[in-house]
Amino acid sequence: VDFELAFSGAVLDRVDHLRTDHEWLSLRMQDPSTSFLPVWRGKPLITFDDKGAHLGWVEPSRIAGLVAKDASVILLGTWQERAYFAIDATSIEQPRQRGPLVGRGKMIDARSIAPDLSPGDAAVLAQARSMLQWHHTHPFCARCGESTRLTVAGYKRVCTSCGADHFPRTDPVVIMAINHRNRCLLGRKPGFPPTLYTCLAGFIEPGESIENAVRREALEEAGVEVTDVRYLASQPWPFPSQLMIGLIGQASSDAIHLGPNELEDARWFDREEVLAAIAGQNASLRIPPALAIAHQLIRAWADEAGQSAG
Ligand SMILES: [Zn+2]
Q: Using the mean position of ligand 1's atoms as its centre, give its distance from the Cα of residue 71 in Å.
A: 21
Tell me whether strands 183-188 and 265-270 are parallel, antiparallel or unpaired: antiparallel
CA distance 14 to 78: 7
Q: Are 202 and 176 in contact (CB under 8 A)?
A: no
Instruction: Give start and end residues of each alpha helix (H) in the chain.
Output: 22-30, 60-68, 110-113, 119-137, 210-222, 271-278, 293-309
Q: Using the mean position of ligand 1's atoms as its centre, give its distance from the Cα of residue 165 in Å.
A: 8
Q: Using the mean position of ligand 1's atoms as its centre, give its distance from the Cα of residue 158 in Å.
A: 8
Split at pLDDT 50, 70, 90, the class of 5 is confident
pLDDT digits (tens, 9 = 90+) for 51-67: 999 999 999 999 999 99
pTM score, two decimals? 0.93
The region of weakest confidence among 117-121, 207-211, 277-281 is 117-121
Q: Which phi and psi (to 5°) does residue 189 adopt?
A: -95, 155
Q: Using the mean position of ligand 1's atoms as its centre, give its distance from the Cα of residue 134 in Å.
A: 17
Tell me whether strands 242-251 and 82-88 are parallel, antiparallel or unpaired: unpaired
C-alpha neighbours within 13 Å on the C-beta side of residue 102: 7
In our burial notation (b when 16+ CB lie closer than 10 A, e otherwise), range 75-86 reads bbbbeeeebbbb
Q: Using the mean position of ligand 1's atoms as its centre, give its distance from the Cα of residue 161 in Å.
A: 5
Q: Using the mean position of ligand 1's atoms as its centre, give its distance from the Cα of residue 166 in Å.
A: 9
Residues near 264 by beta carbon (within 8 Å), at least 6 away in sequence: 187, 188, 189, 190, 192
Answer yes or no: is pLDDT of 175 > 70: yes
Answer yes or no: is pLDDT of 135 > 90: yes
Sign of CA dihedral 173, 14, 99, 118: negative
Answer yes or no: is pLDDT of 305 > 60: yes
Q: What average pLDDT does range 223-229 have in this prediction?
A: 98
Q: Using the mean position of ligand 1's atoms as its centre, give its distance from the Cα of residue 284 in Å.
A: 53
